[in-house]
Amino acid sequence: MTVPAPPDPGALARYDVDDPEISIASDASSELVEIDPEEYRAYFREDFGRLFHAVSHSHGNLPYPLPVDGVEQQRLKDLHSLLRRLFGNNYVGPVQEILAPTRGRVRRAVDFGTGTGLWPMEMAEEFPHVRFDGLDKVPIQTRHPLRNVMFEIHDIAERTRYQNGAIDLVHARFLTMAVRNYRQLVREAARILRSDGLFIACEWHEYPVMNDGSDPIILAPASCNFFHAVAEGVTFSGVNWVASSIPEYLAETHLFKDIEVRVFKVPVGNWHQEQVDIGVDFADTLKTYANSARYMLYETGRNETQVNDLINTFTYEIESSPGIVCLLYTVHARRV
The model's pLDDT over 254-282, given as tens digits with 9 standing for 90+, comes to 999 999 999 999 999 999 999 999 999 99
Mean per-residue pLDDT, 183-204: 98
Residue 10 lies in a domain: no
142, with CB counted inside 10 A (0-12, 13-18, 19+), is: middle
Most confident of 64-78, 141-155, 182-196: 182-196
pLDDT of 29: 58
Residue 145 lies in a domain: yes
49: pLDDT confidence band, cut at 50, 70 and 90?
confident
DSSP state of 35: P
Residue 327 lies in a domain: yes
Residue 281 lies in a domain: yes
31: pLDDT confidence band, cut at 50, 70 and 90?
low
The pLDDT of residue 130 is above 60: yes
**What SS3 string covers 286-333?**
HHHHHHHHHHHHHCCCCCHHHHHHHHHHHHHHHHHCCCEEEEEEEEEE
pLDDT: which is higher, 334 or 61: 334
pLDDT of 21: 44
- Residue 15's nearest CA partner among 86, 100, 91, 106 is 106
Residue 4 lies in a domain: no
Phi/psi at 196 (5° precision): 80, 5
Residue 131 lies in a domain: yes
Cβ-contact 114, 90 below 8 angstroms? no
Reported for 306-314, long-range contacts at CB under 8 A and 24+ positions apart, including other chains, are 310/222, 310/225, 310/226, 310/229, 311/226, 313/222, 313/225, 313/226, 314/222, 314/223, 314/225, 314/226, 314/286, 314/290
* Residues 150-180: tens digit of each pLDDT: 999 998 989 999 999 999 999 999 999 888 9
Domain extent for 147: 37-335
Cβ-contact 247, 331 below 8 angstroms? yes
pLDDT: which is higher, 225 or 49: 225
* Residue 60 belongs to domain with CATH number: 3.40.50.150
What percent of the chain lies above the pLDDT cut of 70?
A: 87
Residue 121 lies in a domain: yes
Give CA separation, 48 vs 67, 126, 304, in Å. 10, 40, 12
136, with CB counted inside 10 A (0-12, 13-18, 19+), is: buried
Pairing state between β 167-173 and 149-153:
unpaired
Q: What is the pTM of this model?
A: 0.89
**Number of domains composing the chain:** 1
Task: Give the three-class secondary structure for 212.
Answer: coil
Q: Which residues face 45 on adjacent strands?
A: 52
Mean per-residue pLDDT, 7-35: 49
Residue 32 lies in a domain: no
Mean per-residue pLDDT, 316-336: 97
